[in-house]
């Protein structure tokens, strides 16, 4: 018995000392994530999270601001436009060094541009660059000339999208080998406020202060860890526990439940995304615009926002989110109006002729019930709940909707093959207004016009607006385009989710800027309390 008792106390005291470990004061912060980054080679990344991290270690020519139109100097001290606006000359800083001590020069940018447009590499964002920029030439170490094919509103944005990588390292591997070579992931050479100290795949990333960073006042927090925990519950617990200081993309229910915690703060902001239901017009049920309008009237989106999203969303009215400059603010969301929905369905010829509670109509000589399947991806809990709410709403109209969940890759296959009736999904929009890939007739066959929407007038307006250089006159056309889509309802635009990030009050909240560009927008300026 005595031996047992001693053993017991020994184990207990051991456990207690171990338990005390996390009380140690930390001079670093920990960012939590369910996913790892793709690579430290920016040209191989697909996820936004990778971009969030890489933007802390690589410098761009300029800092893009939240309005997506303002650019302030970063690697480039200043830039000058040629008289015909077809050329911009960038003057680069002379005091920027890569983390291995080599100077960052205009030749790095010139090389990076070659990488960006290289067909062997096939960078995801290459298309706009190839189409719009004719050439990038370094005149000397600090002078860079960018020649454009024509004048258009996003000239600075396009060249700023080109990631600047160290030529002396990257040119060791030919472009065609990049996707198959792990070379870039070992000891990445960078030039931002942070450099990479460690990357243990699927486990953690350690960023430390880059002593060579040109602005000696930054970063304020000298050590930043990214901790990867794939299980969301575990990750959330670690955030509540104080092990993790920054938690990106918190679910509304967690934010709602722990909003009162005195050690935590939830930062909310709108971002460039919206959720929608796409009605596949290849299905004759959805070919009639009145039917699509009726369905939009018949879904109680406000209730979805209040109950499922705990108020963390705003109604969506068009494919341009409300914070985007091209958004048409005159459009009011479709109100929840069952009577109007029923009337529209009646006008479209839908009756309940057999009295089974489900509407029916004779199409091509056959009686068809108003039944269809909505697909969405199984990984997204919110979408699952929203789908059920919609199912209930539509049943009140006499419309029977089934829900089918697919694993993401399979879901994509169904979408690309146009093999669905209706889809619940979302888009994160690009920073330039262009709707041709989503709604243009030409995008039915090969693009992302997954609902097979076709309206010649829309096509014409879209083509003319996309190339207009005067943003004010372009805005007028975009407004009209949004009115067309509002009337036609190829999608039922549901809501624009508010992004919620959790942050520990160990960090001075007043120093933190999180926005739709990145939740780590000014990480180098953050300070600890």
Partner 1 sequence: MILKRILNAIFLSLGISTVVFLLLRILPSVSFADLYLSPRLSDETIARIKSSYGLDKPVLIQFFVWVKEIAMGNFGFSFIYRKPVIECIFDAFLSTLIIGLPALIYSFGLGIVVGVQLARKKGKAVDKFVSVFLLILYSIPTFWVGIVFILIFSYALGFFPSSGLRSFNFNEMSFVEKIFDLFWHIFLPSFTLGIAPMSAVARFVRSHTLKVLSQTYVKMAKAKGLEERLIFYRHVLPNALLPVVTLFGLYLPVFLAGSVVVEQIFSIPGLGKLAIDSIFKRDYPLTVGITLFVSFIVIFGNLISDILYTIFDPRIRLE
Which residues lie near partner 1 (CB under 8 A)? 15-16, 18-20, 22, 28, 30, 38-39, 44, 46-47, 119-120, 122-128, 176, 179-182, 185, 198, 200-204, 206, 225, 227-231, 233-234, 237-238, 240-241, 243, 407-417, 427-428, 430, 434, 437-438, 446-448
CA dist 269 and 520 (Å) reads: 13
Q: How far is the CB of 227 from partner 1 (least distance, A)?
A: 7
For the chain, the C-alpha Rg in angstroms (whole number) is: 26
- Longest CA pairwise span in the chain (Å): 93
- Cβ proximity to partner 1, 67 vs 120, nearer residue: 120
Instruction: Tell me the CA distances in angstroms from 55 to 95, 193, 432, 523, one per residue in order.
Output: 19, 10, 20, 10
Structure tokens at 523: 């990480």
Q: Which is nearer to partner 1, 114 or 414 (CB)?
A: 414
Alpha helices in 356-418 (DSSP H): 381-395, 408-416
- Is residue 219 reached through a cis peptide bond, with omega within 30 degrees of 0 on the bond before it? yes
Nearer to partner 1, 38 or 256 (CB): 38
Count CA atoms within 13 Å of residue 522 on its CB side.
Answer: 15
Q: Which is nearer to partner 1, 138 or 235 (CB)?
A: 235
Closest to 440 measured CA to CA, from 476, 473, 484: 484
Helix (H, G, I), strand (E, B) or coil at 235: helix
Token digits of residue 76: 């480039």
Residue with Cβ nearer partner 1 (217 or 233): 233
CB of 179 to partner 1, least distance (A): 5
Of the candidates 293, 497, 468, 304, which has an alpha carbon nearest to the alpha carbon of residue 384?
304
CA–CA gap between residue 63 and residue 65 (Å, rounded):
6
Of 78, 90, 178, 168, the residue nearest 133 (C-alpha): 90
Give whichever of 38 and 222 is closer to partner 1, judged by the CB atom: 38
Cβ 195 to partner 1 shortest distance, Å: 16
Q: Which C-beta is closer to partner 1: that of 343 or that of 506?
A: 506
Q: Least distance from C-beta 491 to partner 1, angstroms?
A: 13
Residue-wise DSSP of 35-68:
S--S-SSGGG--SHHHHHHHHHHS--SEEE-TTS
Distance (Å, whole) CA 277 – CA 290:
16
Q: Judge whether 268 and 519 are in contact, CB under 8 Å.
A: no
Torsion angle in degrees (nearest 10) through CA of 251, 257, 260, 265: -10
CB of 189 to partner 1, least distance (A): 17
Helix axes 471-488, 456-466, angle to 10 degrees: 160
Query: Phi/psi class of residue 436: alpha, beta or left (left: φ > 0; alpha: ψ in -120 to 50)?
Result: alpha
Residue whose CB is less far from partner 1, 122 or 362: 122
By beta-carbon proximity to partner 1, the closer residue of 229 and 523 is 229
Distance of closest approach, residue 44 Cβ to partner 1, in angstroms: 8
> Token pair for residue 137?
């030439």
Around Cβ 256, how many Cβ atoms within 10 Å?
A: 16
User: 181 or 404: whose CB is closer to partner 1?
Assistant: 181
* Nearest distance, CB of residue 25 and partner 1, angstroms: 13
Min CB(109)–partner 1 separation in Å: 22
CB of 1 to partner 1, least distance (A): 18
Toward partner 1, which CB reaches closer, 9 or 81?
Answer: 9
What is the smallest separation between the CB atom of 124 and partner 1, expressed in angstroms?
6
Closest CA to 167 of 84, 207, 109: 109
DSSP letter, residue 124? T
Least Å distance, CB 158 to partner 1, is 13
Report CA torsion sign: 483, 487, 493, 495.
Answer: positive
For residue 302, the minimal CB distance to partner 1 (Å) is 28
């Amino acid at each position: 018995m005595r031996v047992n008792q001693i053993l017991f106390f020994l184990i207990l005291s051991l456990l207690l000392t171990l338990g005390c470990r996390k009380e140690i004061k930390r001079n670093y912060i920990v960012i939590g994530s369910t996913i790892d980054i793709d690579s430290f080679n920016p040209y191989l990344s697909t996820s936004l999270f990778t971009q969030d991290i890489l933007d802390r270690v690589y410098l761009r020519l300029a800092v893009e601001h939240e309005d997506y139109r303002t650019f302030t100097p970063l690697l480039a001290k200043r830039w000058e436009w040629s008289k015909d606006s077809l050329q911009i000359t960038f003057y680069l800083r002379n005091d920027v060094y890569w983390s291995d001590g080599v100077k960052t020069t205009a030749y790095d940018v010139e090389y990076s541009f070659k990488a960006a447009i290289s067909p062997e590499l096939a960078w995801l964002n290459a298309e706009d660059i190839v189409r719009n920029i004719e050439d990038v030439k370094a005149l000397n170490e600090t002078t860079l000339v960018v020649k454009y094919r024509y004048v258009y509103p996003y000239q600075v944005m396009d060249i700023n999208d080109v990631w600047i990588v160290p030529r002396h390292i990257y040119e060791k591997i030919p472009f065609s080998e990049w996707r198959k070579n792990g070379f870039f992931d070992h000891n990445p050479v960078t030039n931002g406020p942070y450099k990479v100290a460690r990357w243990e795949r699927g486990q953690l990333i350690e960023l430390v202060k880059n002593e060579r960073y040109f602005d000696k006042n930054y970063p304020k927090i000298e050590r930043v860890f990214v901790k990867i925990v794939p299980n969301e519950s575990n990750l959330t617990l670690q955030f509540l526990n104080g092990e993790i200081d920054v938690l990106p993309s918190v679910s509304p229910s967690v934010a709602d439940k722990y909003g009162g915690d005195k050690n935590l703060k939830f930062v909310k902001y709108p971002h460039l995304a919206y959720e929608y239901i796409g009605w596949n017009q290849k299905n004759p049920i959805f070919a009639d615009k009145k039917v699509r309008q009726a369905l939009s009237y018949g879904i109680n989106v406000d209730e979805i926002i209040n109950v499922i999203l705990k108020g963390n969303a705003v109604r969506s009215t068009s494919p341009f989110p409300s914070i985007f400059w091209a958004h048409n603010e005159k459009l009011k969301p479709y109100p929840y109006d069952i009577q109007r929905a029923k009337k529209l369905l009646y006008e479209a010829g839908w009756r309940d002729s057999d009295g089974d509670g489900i509407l029916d109509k004779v199409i091509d000589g056959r009686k068809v019930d108003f039944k269809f399947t909505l697909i969405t991806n199984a990984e997204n809990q919110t979408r699952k709940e929203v789908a059920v709410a919609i199912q209930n709403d539509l049943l009140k109209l006499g419309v029977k909707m089934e829900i089918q969940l697919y694993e993401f890759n399979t879901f994509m296959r169904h979408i690309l093959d146009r093999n669905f009736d209706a889809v619940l999904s979302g888009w994160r929009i690009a920073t330039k207004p262009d709707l041709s890939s989503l709604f243009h007739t030409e995008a039915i066959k090969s693009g992302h016009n997954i609902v097979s929407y076709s309206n010649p007038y829309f096509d014409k307006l879209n083509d003319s607006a996309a190339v207009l250089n005067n943003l004010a006159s372009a805005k007028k056309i975009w407004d009209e385009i949004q009115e067309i889509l509002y009337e036609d309802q190829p999608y039922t635009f549901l809501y624009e989710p508010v992004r919620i990030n959790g942050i520990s009050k160990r960090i001075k909240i007043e120093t933190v800027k999180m926005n739709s560009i990145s939740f780590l927008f000014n990480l180098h300026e953050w300070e600890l309390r």
